Amino acid sequence: MLAFKLVSQGIGGRTVEELSDTMSVDEFLTWGAYMTIEPFGDDRADWRNAMAMALQANMNRKKGKSPTPVHKFLLKFDNRSRARKSMKELEAIMYAQYLRMGGKPKE
């Protein structure tokens, strides 16, 4: 899915195929790492909306009740486990995705 997000933001080409023809594996993995640190596009908008919702909910909470954290207001698109993964695991997942999309293997 990362390839589609990059293309939708005008990064790497006009199509996923063009991205896989022009972007190296290392750059693709770097973009994946960057997006986990600094979300952009719809991901950033989702966080912005979640912050506004948390602010509204927490301004109106009852006295003594703990504030609801922002992440509780983020949209959820699937039910798969979101367990934390190491950087090596994330790289392996993104590399596999890159190869499935027709990317050129590392030499």
pLDDT band at 52 (very low <50, low <70, confident <90, very high): very high
Q: Convert the pLDDT of each residue in 56-76 to its tens digit.
A: 999 999 999 999 999 999 888
- CB crowding 6-32: b at 16 or more within 10 Å, else e: bbeeeebbeebeebbeebebeebbebb
Give whichever of 27-31, 35-39, 74-78, 81-85 has the largest mean pLDDT: 27-31
User: For residue 78, is pLDDT > 90?
Assistant: no
- Against a cut of 0.75, is the pTM above it? no
